[in-house]
Amino acid sequence: MWYQPPAKSLAPLHLVFALFSKKEVDFEKQLASYLQAKEVVIGDAWVWVLAEGLRALAQQHPGRKIILPAYSCNEFTKAILLAGLEPMYVDLGPDFSMHLAPVAAACDATVLGVLAVNNTGVAAENLEIRTFCDQKGIFCIEDAGYTLFGSAASGQLFGSFGHVAIINMSEGKIIPAGGAAWVVNHEQAQHSAQHLRSLMAQTPPQANWAEALQLVIYHLGASRWGYQLYSLLKKAIKTDFKALFSSEPTRKGEDYTSGELEYVQGKIQIKTHHAQQLQAVRLKSWNKVRHAWAQYVFVHRQQQQLIRQKRVQGWVQSLGDAVAWLPLPAQPMPIKLPVLLALSHKQAAALEAHGIKKQYPTTWPMNQPQWPQSAKCYAQAYSLPVHANISEQALQQASHVLKETLAQQGN
């Protein structure tokens, strides 16, 4: 069996130095300076950062619906529902990215904003959507969790397109420190940063030593051998330790196959037991250990980007026209490389045994026939690993298995 972790984590020794150092690091200001944003607020629990950010935006606008693509992470839907708002789904475009046309067709007076989702680095029509939102007087909320440190063909940095941007920084993302950053790019949304800060002031951050220990455990779990052990234990005792011990409090114990969402009377809602777990989570700020960890990733971002671009090039050169490539930005900082594969159950199982998995499960309730492009992604979109932990030998082995799988005729 061959397994690969979802992302590269960095040296635990740096966390030990941060634990005993007297130097304070303000990563919020560093990120704001990099993106030329008006303000950045970082909090633990990324779903609640997004939910409370949306709740604050809704305080100054009559709209109560958020437009987002049907093919997108279930956590976006959860955040919208937790904010007391309603998700309004649109289909992906012909190139499987989020286009303006279906957004414009769906938009009416009930819409508060558009969540421009960049699915695993496949960029939405961010500039067009932002311009449309300006014209309509609604908010553009840019998802930059998979595109941070990358830029569009115009050179504009991802994270700077929306009136606000949300950057998921939970395990496996570009900055795997837990929680999320809320980036304010427009003065009309500045009150949302104040709202988040007032909430986080009510709950003290976790102790530095506890954060350092948790991040060291994550580092070990994200190593090649640690992830292999996790995968074997998951198969052997049917327990997902990653969900159980996640540093992201809103994902603890989550059933990923359903996304903890369900249809009730024609509307999607969070399952009752999971909604109760989410309500128990308290939004809090980072302590200095998490700030230092994020700064370390930020300082070494170009090295990480070069490694990941090399992995992307390795996959493309190895597989060529054997798969359908989804479009990445001009300067990507991908977590995974998405491809479309029409596979049988047997072929899919063979790939998963070698660490190549579906992006999102077909069992999520957003997978509906009225959104055919999105449904195709639910059925056929797989993720190829491109992080720095994967070796050239492992990439070649996985590529060989993938090509063999595609050549099979079994069911």
Strand order in the sheet with 65-69: 86-90, 65-69, 111-116, 139-143, 164-168, 180-184, 39-44, 284-285
Residues 193 and 310 grouped into a single domain: no
Question: How would residue 91 be classed by pLDDT, with cut points 50, 70 and 90?
Answer: very high
Residue 267 forms part of a structural domain: no
Q: Flag whether pLDDT at 411 surpasses 50.
A: no
Residues 46 and 186 grouped into a single domain: yes
Region 199-216 average pLDDT: 82
Question: How would residue 227 be classed by pLDDT, with cut points 50, 70 and 90?
Answer: low
Q: Flag whether pLDDT at 274 surpasses 80.
A: yes
How far apart are alpha carbons 249 and 182 in whole angstroms? 17
Q: Check residues 411 and 369 and name the one with the higher pLDDT.
A: 369
Residue 41 forms part of a structural domain: yes
Residues 39 and 161 grouped into a single domain: yes
pLDDT at 68: 98
Residues 55 and 177 grouped into a single domain: yes
Residues 179 and 312 grouped into a single domain: no
Q: Check residues 296 and 160 and name the one with the higher pLDDT.
A: 160
Residue 25 forms part of a structural domain: yes
Q: In terms of Cα–Cα distance, which of 106, 96, 52, 55 is closest to 72?
A: 96
Residue 144 forms part of a structural domain: yes
pLDDT at 157: 95
Residues 315 and 194 grouped into a single domain: no
Q: Flag whether pLDDT at 332 surpasses 80.
A: no
Residues 39 and 169 grouped into a single domain: yes
Residue 223 forms part of a structural domain: no
Region 286-292 average pLDDT: 87
SS3 for 191? helix
Q: Flag whether pLDDT at 148 surpasses 70.
A: yes
Region 141-168 average pLDDT: 95
Residue 236 forms part of a structural domain: no
Residue 210 forms part of a structural domain: no
Q: In terms of Cα–Cα distance, which of 302, 326, 274 is closest to 47?
A: 274
Least confident stretch, 136-150, 258-272, 392-406: 392-406
pLDDT at 16: 61
Overall domain count for the chain: 2
Least confident stretch, 22-26, 100-104, 143-147: 22-26
Region 344-362 average pLDDT: 85
Q: Flag whether pLDDT at 60 surpasses 50.
A: yes
Residues 24 and 166 grouped into a single domain: yes
Residue 160 forms part of a structural domain: yes
pLDDT at 334: 81
Last residue of a domain, one of 143, 173, 200: 200
Last residue of a domain, one of 165, 200, 235: 200
The domain that holds 334 is classified in CATH as: 3.90.1150.10
Q: Could you tell me the residue range of the domain that residue 389 belongs to?
A: 301-405
Residues 188 and 59 grouped into a single domain: yes
Residues 192 and 60 grouped into a single domain: yes
Last residue of a domain, one of 151, 166, 200: 200
Q: Check residues 374 and 387 and name the one with the higher pLDDT.
A: 374
Residues 179 and 327 grouped into a single domain: no
Name the CA dihedral angle for 165, 171, 177, 182, rounded to a multiple of 10 degrees. 10
Residues 185 and 316 grouped into a single domain: no
Q: Flag whether pLDDT at 161 surpasses 50.
A: yes
pLDDT at 240: 62
Question: How would residue 207 be classed by pLDDT, with cut points 50, 70 and 90?
Answer: confident
Question: How would residue 29 be classed by pLDDT, with cut points 50, 70 and 90?
Answer: very high
Round the average pLDDT of the chain to a whole number and report it.
86
